[in-house]
Amino acid sequence: MISDNCGLNLLHPIAGFSLGTTCAAIKTPGRRDLVIMKLAKGSKVAALFTQNAFCAAPVLVAKRALQRGCSRYLVVNTGNANAGTGERGVQHAELTCQEIAKLTGVDVSDVMPFSTGVIGEYLPIDRLLKAIPGALSHLDEDGWSEAANGIMTTDTRPKGASVKLTIPTSTKTDDIDGPTRAVNGTLTLTGIAKGSGMIKPDMATMLSFIATDATVDAELLHRALRLAAEKSFNRITVDGDTSTNDALVFAATGCGDVIIDEGNFELFATHLEALCTELAQACVRDGEGATKFVSIVTTGAASQLEAKATAYTVAESPLVKTALGASDPNWGRILAAVGRAPIPNLDISKVSVSLNGTAIVEGGARALGYTEQAGQAAMQPTDIHIVIDLGRGESSETVWTTDLGHEYVRINAEYRT
């Protein structure tokens, strides 16, 4: 897989957010595969879920819990997606929540379940329930790294990101009834993610959990998450498949000294987007069988929608992806993908394409100065940057993807064996 800079040793704890990880032997004995996260009372939670019509049982249960707005615990199991399991799957997700509620004294609606793994298999519910006390006993605000490992499936490495920043906030004067005054406060954002295949989220990512110690009301929290996801997790694709279990959760514990309001929201949202982008790109770099990290940039589009659709058409072309895997500068495959993108009345004479700075197409045809040797040299790096200029507007979008090779086929052919 492709190296990245996602360092789990830099994951800052979040006041009011603790994580416990244990072994439930859901698929593989001895593997840490159950994670429970506890949120401070009064925390706010926002979440985005898969758009797949066959969404997993825990997604259905988690959505219901989110509507009640009082989440105190998140529980995640790997090794089994609990998807395609009908009413029995829903009952298993509910039993999981009920057991945590019983052991912790919260209402069952305060627990949100998440699962990832093989589709169409029933949860080994007895083993899962038996392991819950162990996860609860390990709850720790420094439990991020273990949790990042505990939520993995075909991932080859854990994925996490964290940032501390100084941000303007407001606080009361010493006079309780007096006006607020602007000060600077320290805010922390930390998140983990899992995902390396079945990646075209169409909402968020496979599974990702992000927390902050800031005080954020529900509306601003949801707005920040939607904006960040749209420019990060909704800009990645490994294989064009959307999982049945995708979920992105963002919790604000309110245990820090920063209050997010309209005055500092834009700065807050910008840093959240940067953290989400780091996590999303880590998923691409760990893509199943991937040897290339590919940025596809569409510029000169008539609209953002057109730019995004063009980038995705190229990113998901099997012929383009196999050429990338072979480091073959077969630029005709890129041109053909652009030509079938949903672009009304495309004037091909205005289209230009470059690959790692090497012009390969100009005016809709082979660039005059292009040579096969230059193309070969441009394809050798691990990171590939393809720029497609449609020459018809001012809009641009970027999508991140991988190559496609034998290893991807092997991993998925052997996934259940």
Which amino acids are annotated catalytic? Answer: 205
Residue matched to tokens 């998923």: 283
* Coil, helix or strand at residue 164: strand
Q: 46: which 2 tokens?
A: 């926002």
By the 8 A CB rule, do 284 and 269 touch?
Answer: no
Q: Pick from 214, 212, 194: which is nearest to 204 by CA?
A: 194
Cβ neighbours around 281 below 10 Å, total: 22
What residues contact 53, with CB distance under 8 A and at least 6 apart? none
Cβ contact 33:116 at 8 Å: no
Angle, helices 218-230 vs 265-285, to 10°: value is: 40
Q: How far apart are CA 92 and CA 83, in angstroms?
A: 11
Please name which of 190, 209, 215, 391 lies closest in space to residue 271, comparing C-alpha atoms: 190
Structure tokens at 27: 């698929």
Question: How far apart are the C-alpha atoms of 152 and 149, rounded to whole Å?
Answer: 6
